[in-house]
Amino acid sequence: MKLNKFRKKSPWILHYNTGGCNGCDIEILASLAPKYDIERFGALNKGNPKQADILLVTGPVTKRCKDVLRRLYLQMPEPKVVVAMGACGHGGGVFRNFYHVENGVDNIIPVDVWIPGCAPRPEALIDGIVEAIEILQTKSKEKEYIRNHNEIIDKLGAKDD
Amino acid sequence: MGKITIPFGSQHVALPEPVSFLFDTQNEIISDVHVNLGYVHRGIEKAAITKFDYTNLAFLLTRVCGLCSITHASGYIHGLEYLLNAEISKRAEYLRMLVIELDRMHSHLLANGHVAEVVGYENLFMQTFRYREKVMEILERLTGNRVQFDYYTIGGVRRDIDLEDAKEIKKELLELKPKLEKLTEFFETDYTFGLKTKNIGKITKEMALEYGVVGPIARASGVKTDARAEYEYLPYNEIGYKLQTRKDGDVLARNLVRQDEILNSLEMCLNILDNLPEGEIKVKTKGRPKGEVFVRVEAPRGECFYYLKGNGSKIFERVRIRVPTYANLPILKDLFIGEKYSDAQAIVLSFDPCMSCTAR
């Protein structure tokens, strides 16, 4: 199967805002627009987790969004890459230790690529996506399905989902 | 046919932010809707009175919302300057207005483009965003960042504008003007766009007054409300501000009001660049905030209200924010009932909802 090659050419993005300020989300919209045009790399913003390869998370993860984010991650098929965008995705940023904030994406799901900045420029976003595509290829060589499925479920604390 | 419940959100491709609508539909006609907010609640108001002192608070409050970041900074800093009795130079006020109006332009263009996308007109979305990118370039040249500017500072602005920049920005704005006029004409006369937006989500003037909606949504129904005209926090009457209204109150009218405001903002920016007064951009302030004050500023989405209460210490006693989307949400439930499910996305996005403002 030449699946890896095809994956490289068409990574679909699932975007979820977990309580950020909107700034990163409008930069994602801007990078879909003609000037930056992320579709050059085959990436499309699709709303369906079951068809997505890259999970693009913005925001510090509020307590209300925690469960939704976990479910989205589990619904995505292997191989998958998680990209955390923006300063508040990296440990909370300016919202660190607020009473309704979980201090970053890393506390809920494993993250592969970090895009720093508040808000990151579209160039930085494209750089992150390109890196995510490279990681996606190495991942798909290693495993096509989760071997230690039960272990991961235990680690995420998501037995009931 | 029986009742079918369709979830819209919290994660959906048309929504950049998490908000959840549950539609009860019968034969595609919406019969009831349950709105679920609060996915984005971070506890900013609590942190504003416990963690941040008054010099740093503007950095937190700009991050209430990325689209209208400058509005939140202006609401807070205008209030603080009143409490500190600071006199701001004319040049700083003009520069503040310049950035606020440019921010309004890019926010409105984003909203209009987004409506075009969800009604299935991808080409119009791309064109709108292409012109929006020019505004973003100007903002970056002025402030140094694309989204979170932090341009406001206590007593003035953070960066001055030099002659070369002013000339370049003026040139770019003049180039942009005919393109935006063409875009307005396109929104107004395009047949395909009109099919999905005319007479959809209609708000009459009586309804608008009863529910107390604000901003472009009220102005699209013919209600003359605008904090820039009602409350003099910046000298808007000097730079050619005009109140824009439309009568129809449907999705198209809301888009066109925004489009009119973009053109008015562009005029104002050109006037500011022509008549920029000389002087300092920042004055020093003394003392700590004591007393209470409320401020009304016009965000791109409508009137934004700030209440500040200081007791002479470094940290405020109360910071209350009431954002425009909060005022615009109750009418949404009434609008949905009786409409088709396929129009729901266009109605939501024509309100340009900002959930990170609303839930904070």
- The answer as to whether B237 is a domain residue is yes
Helix (H) / strand (E) element for B125: namely helix B122-143
* Cis peptide, bond prior to residue A30, ω within 30 of zero: no
Q: Which residues of B touch A24 (CB under 8 A)?
A: 66
Say which DSSP state B223 is in. -
What one-character DSSP code corresponds to residue B282? Answer: B
Q: What residue type is A26 in one-letter code?
A: I
Q: How far is CA A104 from the centre of its chain?
A: 12
Mark which residues 127-156 of B lie under 8 Å from A by CB.
129-130, 132-133, 136, 146-148
What CA–CA distance (Å, rounded) separates B148 from B140?
A: 10
What is the mean predicted confidence (pLDDT) over B187-204? Answer: 84
Q: Which of residues 77 through 106 in chain A touch B, CB cutoff 8 A?
A: 88, 94-95, 98-101
**Total structural domains in chain B?**
1
* Residue A100 tokens, joined: 């309704």
Handedness of CA A142, A145, A151, A152 (dihedral sign): positive
Q: B336-340: list long-range contacts, CB under 8 Å, 24+ apart.
A: B336/B21, B336/B23, B336/B30, B336/B33, B337/B30, B337/B31, B337/B32, B337/B33, B338/B29, B338/B30, B339/B29, B339/B30, B339/B200, B339/B201, B340/B28, B340/B29, B340/B30
Mutation to test the B interface, candidates A69, A94, A123, most B Cβ within 10 Å: A94
Q: Which of B17, B10, B16 is nearest to B35 (CA)?
A: B10
54-73 of A, contacting B, C-beta below 8 A: 59-60, 62, 64-65, 68, 72
- pLDDT of res. B121: 85
B176 versus A143: the higher-pLDDT residue is B176
Strand partners, B20: B36
Owning domain of residue B142: 41-333
A145 pLDDT exceeds 60?
Answer: no
Q: Tokens in use for B137?
A: 């370039």
Report yes or no on B346 lying in a domain: no
Q: Write the CA distances from A123 to A128, A130, A138, B135, integer angstroms.
A: 9, 11, 23, 17
| Structural contact between residues B228 and B298, judged by C-beta atoms closer than 8 angstroms | yes
- Name the helix (H) or strand (E) containing B322: strand B318-322
Put simply, the answer to whether B11 touches A33 (Cβ < 8 Å) is no
Record: contact B126-A34, CB cut-off 8 A: yes
B6: in domain: no
> Based on the number of CB atoms within 10 Å of its own CB, is A6 exposed (0-12), middle (13-18) or buried (19 or more)?
exposed
Output the pLDDT for position B31: 84
CB of B208 within 8 A of CB of B232? no
Q: Give the model's pLDDT for residue A159.
A: 59
Q: What is the CATH number of the domain that holds B160?
A: 1.10.645.10
- B42 pLDDT band, cuts 50/70/90, is confident
Across residues B212-218, what is the average pLDDT? 87
Q: β-pairing, B302-311 with B318-322?
A: antiparallel
Query: Tokens representing B218?
Result: 């009220």
Does residue B317 surpass a pLDDT of 60? yes
Q: What gap in Å lies between CA B18 and CA B340, rounded to an integer?
A: 22
The pLDDT tens digits of the residues spanning B247-289 come to: 888 888 888 999 999 999 998 888 988 888 888 888 888 888 8
The yes-or-no verdict on residue B113 having pLDDT over 80 is yes
Phi, psi of B199, rounded to the nearest 5 degrees: 60, 30
Task: Give the CA radius of gyration of chain A.
Answer: 15
Share of chain B above pLDDT 90, in %: 2
CB contact at 8 A, B328 and B295:
no
Q: Is residue B305 part of a domain?
A: yes
Which amino acid makes up residue B87? E
Element (H, E) at B139: helix B122-143
State how far the alpha carbon of B249 is from the alpha carbons of A132, B104, B116, B200, in Å: 45, 21, 17, 9
Predicted pLDDT at B238: 85
Instruction: Quickly state the pLDDT bin for B120 (edges 50, 70, 90).
Output: confident
Q: Is B258 a domain residue?
A: yes
Classify each residue of A124-153 as buried b or exposed e, where b means 16 or more C-beta atoms within 10 Å of its C-beta: bbbebbebbbebbeebbeeeeeeeeeeeee
| Bridge partners, B22 (sequence order) | B7, B34
Is this complex scored with an ipTM above 0.85? no
Q: Is residue B51 part of a domain?
A: yes
Q: Which residues of A36-73 are buried (b: 16+ CB within 10 A; e: fewer)?
A: bebeebebebebebeebbbbbbbbbbbebbbebbbebb
Residues of A in contact with B352 (CB under 8 A): none
Q: Does the pLDDT value for residue B16 go beyond 80? A: no
Which CA distances in Å does B197 have to A134, B185, B219, B248, B341? Answer: 42, 15, 17, 11, 14
Q: Do B18 and A45 touch (CB under 8 A)?
A: no
Q: Which domains does chain A have, with CATH numbers?
A: 3-156 (3.40.50.12280)
In the structure, what pLDDT confidence band is assigned to residue B164 with cuts at 50, 70 and 90? Answer: confident
Most confident of B75-79, B349-353, B356-360: B75-79
Extended beta strands in chain A, E state: 12-17, 44-45, 54-58, 81-85, 113-115
**Is B149 within the bounds of a domain?**
yes
Check residue A146 and give its pLDDT: 58
User: Is a pLDDT exceeding 60 seen at residue A157?
Assistant: yes
pLDDT-based confidence at residue A142 (cuts at 50, 70, 90): low
Nearest to A14 by CA among A44, A41, A59, A36: A44
Interface test with A, best of B42, B63, B131, B360 (most A CBs within 10 A): B42
Sheet strands (E) in B149-228:
152-153, 156-157
Angstrom CA distances, B66 to B110, B175, B352, stand at 12, 27, 13
Confirm or reject contact between A3 and chain B (CB < 8 A). Answer: no
pLDDT tens-digit readout, A58-116: 888 888 888 888 888 888 887 888 999 988 888 888 888 888 888 888 888 888 899 98
Cα B341 to Cα A89, B8, B26, B120, B272, distances in angstroms = 34, 10, 10, 15, 45
Assess contact for B181 and B189: CB atoms under 8 A: no
The reply to whether B135 falls in a domain is yes
The pLDDT of residue A140 is 61
Q: Give the SS3 label for residue A64.
A: helix
Residue B327: phi and psi, rounded to 5, are -75, -25
Q: Would you call A23 and B43 a contact, using CB atoms and an 8 Å cutoff?
A: no
Alpha-carbon gap: A128 to the closest alpha carbon of chain B (Å): 18
B14 or B269, which is more confident?
B269
By residue count, chain A amounts to: 161
User: Rounded mean pLDDT of B144-168?
Assistant: 86
Residue carrying the six token digits 């209009």: B112
Mean pLDDT of B101-123: 88
> Letter for the amino acid at A30?
A
